[in-house]
Chains A and B, each alone.
Chain A
Amino acid sequence: MGIELAEIEDWNCCGSTPYSSVDGLISSCMSARNLALAEKTGLDLVTACSSCYTTLRRTNSLLKQHPQLKGEVDEALAAAGLEYHGGVRVRHLAEVIVNDVGPEAVAAKVQRSLNGLKVAVYYGCQIVRPGPGFDDPEFPQSLDRLAESLGAEAVPFPLKTRCCGGSLIIPEEGVVLGLIHKLLDSAATNGAECIITVCPLCQTNLDVYQGRVNRKFKTHYQLPVLFFTQLVGLALGLSSKELGIEKGVVSAKKLLSRYS
């Protein structure tokens, strides 16, 4: 696709929602270290995780809006010989593919059309919110267009930006299984054969916990949950193995045998 990725040297975990819950200043510092490392390269920062995307973007805007916080973060970074000037643009890989490459250019590269595959494109919350982001915060369309450029059919999915519960699955499994159930139900009743996601945590909740939802709500969902990158890769001719599709707990083997 003409995109070259350079891994940020020695990046650290951005801290995600747990760190922001525990300590405001240090959580900003954790993000700022990554931003400082990225700033040295002069490139945009790209992540394939919605939580990293929101956390790093949030740090950028907090530092802009709150001079006192900025001063403290600068001091803490200086203790480690780092500095951040606020110049890094934080982007999600989905947005890069949609905006920089574009669905038309992707369509031109398709080797194996996913004709007839019905997908529910699940954006989740943190890729579109808080807005303004790269698409509508409640009813985004851009990744539906991307899926269609691969030949797939994006089914109507009213809950496409409803929350999957995120890391609350660990302390509050019962509550979060209810949220996941609603998502699976919405996708299935609209005729989806699989769910497409842009976030590792959404993937884990919808895929790994699908069996527990079935047990709790006496349902029989068998919806494979694929990353949007896997869907694109499949259409561009890469093998399931290269794409790690067999790592999904709900098997996509039968569904995708139509396209091999």
Chain B
Amino acid sequence: MEIFLAILLALAIFIGVPALVGLLITVSVVRYNRYQTARAKRALTNDTGFLAEVASIPGGEGVYQCIQCGTCTGSCPNANEMQYSPRKIIAMVRAGMRKEVLSSDTMWYCASCYLCTERCPRGVPVTELMYGLKQLAYRSGFRSGPTAEPVMNRAFVDLINRNGRVHEVSLMLRYYLQSKPLAILKMAPIGLKMFLRGRMPLRPHAIEGTEQLSAIIAKAHALEAARATVEVSR
């Protein structure tokens, strides 16, 4: 009887405690992400400097060329899902509406299919512009967004920074734990289907040159910081 109780107690400790700690960490990460995002949104103010900032990103100079014809919106497979259509978001950038643009969900629905870029009669690289808006949203402190895509992107990037390769199982775990922990149950059947067919390796693989990668990333961060200082002093 005592042995049985001891086993039960051990099980409760070994499974229950880590599960509880995991849950607590997950909940705090999700809450922290939301808090940061709300703070970033409050801190934004609309200004004419926004247009110049967008235009300074590689590809961003296209905002000046737009004639508001709406070909991009008509071509976009996800325009229906967006809070503001691609055409509208360009008009808003030009109006200096930093807060509305960067806190909108528009760019997070862009799947980078380049149909808008292909069809634009003025040669505006709209897909590049969407990348630029996402980068600006991150830089303004958005940790999650109106969609869960920012969290996924960051999980993806963190894995590459560490290992130089993406590992699907780690990506899914990180993404779900930081955005919607319970939805991971819904993903289990998909993961199982892929695992059974040898398409889901359980162990991550790292490249040899991880130190090389770290050196590149550190240098790039330093260059970005230097660039930001120049911009502020201007």
Q: Which of B153, B193, B207, B212 contacts A21 (CB 8 A)?
A: B153
- Knowing A125-B113, A172-B109, A247-B198, the reply to whether A24 touches B223 (Cβ < 8 A) is no
Q: Does A214 contact B (CB under 8 A)?
A: no
Proximity string of chain A (40-66) to chain B, C-beta cutoff 8 Å, 1 when within and 0 when not: 000000000000001000000010011
In the complex, chain A residues 48-97 whose Cβ is within 8 Å of any chain B Cβ:
54, 62, 65-66, 69, 72, 75-82
Residue positions of A touching B, CB distance < 8 A: 10-13, 15-26, 29-30, 33, 54, 62, 65-66, 69, 72, 75-82, 125-126, 129-131, 137-138, 161-163, 165-168, 170-172, 175, 179, 208-209, 212, 246-249
Could you tell me the distance in whole angstroms from the C-beta of A137 to the nearest C-beta in chain B? Answer: 5
Q: A170–B176 Cα gap in the complex (Å)?
A: 9
Could you tell me the distance in whole angstroms from the C-beta of B57 to the nearest C-beta in chain A? Answer: 7
Kindly specify which of B16-24, B25-33, B86-94, B131-139 makes contact with the partner chain.
Answer: B131-139
Q: Which of A15, A72, A129 contacts B118 (CB 8 A)?
A: A129
Could you tell me the distance in whole angstroms from the C-beta of B149 to the nearest C-beta in chain A? Answer: 4
Whether B157 and A19, one on each chain, are in contact in the complex, defined by CB atoms closer than 8 angstroms, is: yes
Whether B219 and A15, one on each chain, are in contact in the complex, defined by CB atoms closer than 8 angstroms, is: no
- Neighbouring A residues of B103 by C-beta, 8 Å: none
- Neighbouring B residues of A212 by C-beta, 8 Å: 190
Proximity string of chain B (186-202) to chain A, C-beta cutoff 8 Å, 1 when within and 0 when not: 00001001100111000
Q: Which of B78, B113, B175, B208 contacts A129 (CB 8 A)?
A: B113
- Knowing A13-B165, A166-B112, A208-B194, the reply to whether A62 touches B131 (Cβ < 8 A) is no
- Neighbouring A residues of B156 by C-beta, 8 Å: 16, 18-19, 167
- Neighbouring A residues of B135 by C-beta, 8 Å: 21-24
Q: Which of A29, A66, A163 contacts B58 (CB 8 A)?
A: A66
Proximity string of chain B (218-229) to chain A, C-beta cutoff 8 Å, 1 when within and 0 when not: 111101100000
Residue of B150, B199, B224 with most chain A CB atoms under a 10 A cut-off = B199
Could you count the A-B residue pairs with CB atoms below 8 Å apart for me: how many are there?
175
Residue of B78, B111, B194 with most chain A CB atoms under a 10 A cut-off = B111
Q: A144–B78 Cα gap in the complex (Å)?
A: 27
Whether A76 and B113, one on each chain, are in contact in the complex, defined by CB atoms closer than 8 angstroms, is: no
Could you tell me the distance in whole angstroms from the C-beta of A78 to the nearest C-beta in chain B? Answer: 8
Q: A209–B109 Cα gap in the complex (Å)?
A: 19
Whether A171 and B151, one on each chain, are in contact in the complex, defined by CB atoms closer than 8 angstroms, is: yes
A to B CB contacts below 8 Å, 29 in the list: A11-B207, A15-B160, A18-B152, A18-B153, A19-B153, A23-B138, A24-B58, A24-B131, A25-B220, A54-B112, A72-B220, A72-B223, A76-B217, A80-B219, A125-B114, A129-B113, A130-B114, A130-B117, A130-B125, A137-B114, A163-B111, A163-B115, A165-B111, A170-B172, A172-B81, A172-B147, A175-B78, A175-B81, A208-B194
Whether B77 and A79, one on each chain, are in contact in the complex, defined by CB atoms closer than 8 angstroms, is: no
Whether B118 and A131, one on each chain, are in contact in the complex, defined by CB atoms closer than 8 angstroms, is: yes
Q: Which of B57, B153, B216 contacts A33 (CB 8 A)?
A: B216
Q: Does B34 contact A (CB under 8 A)?
A: no
Whether B209 and A10, one on each chain, are in contact in the complex, defined by CB atoms closer than 8 angstroms, is: yes
Proximity string of chain B (120-157) to chain A, C-beta cutoff 8 Å, 1 when within and 0 when not: 00000101000110110010000000011111111011
Interface size of B as a range: 35 or more
Whether A171 and B149, one on each chain, are in contact in the complex, defined by CB atoms closer than 8 angstroms, is: yes
Whether A75 and B197, one on each chain, are in contact in the complex, defined by CB atoms closer than 8 angstroms, is: no
Q: A208–B191 Cα gap in the complex (Å)?
A: 9
Whether B111 and A168, one on each chain, are in contact in the complex, defined by CB atoms closer than 8 angstroms, is: yes
- Neighbouring A residues of B179 by C-beta, 8 Å: 171
Whether B216 and A76, one on each chain, are in contact in the complex, defined by CB atoms closer than 8 angstroms, is: yes
Q: A10–B127 Cα gap in the complex (Å)?
A: 30
- Knowing A12-B164, A23-B135, the reply to whether A129 touches B157 (Cβ < 8 A) is no
A-B pairs, 5 with minimum CB distance = A163-B113, A129-B114, A125-B113, A79-B219, A12-B164
Whether A138 and B118, one on each chain, are in contact in the complex, defined by CB atoms closer than 8 angstroms, is: yes
Q: Which of A137, A167, A249 contacts B152 (CB 8 A)?
A: A167
Could you tell me the distance in whole angstroms from the C-beta of B40 to the nearest C-beta in chain A? Answer: 15
Whether A79 and B157, one on each chain, are in contact in the complex, defined by CB atoms closer than 8 angstroms, is: no
Q: Does B66 contact A (CB under 8 A)?
A: no
Q: Which of B111, B150, B224 contacts A25 (CB 8 A)?
A: B224
Closest A residue, CB atoms, query B209: A10
Q: Does B215 contact A (CB under 8 A)?
A: yes
- Neighbouring B residues of A248 by C-beta, 8 Å: 197
Q: Which of A163, A170, A171 contacts B77 (CB 8 A)?
A: A163
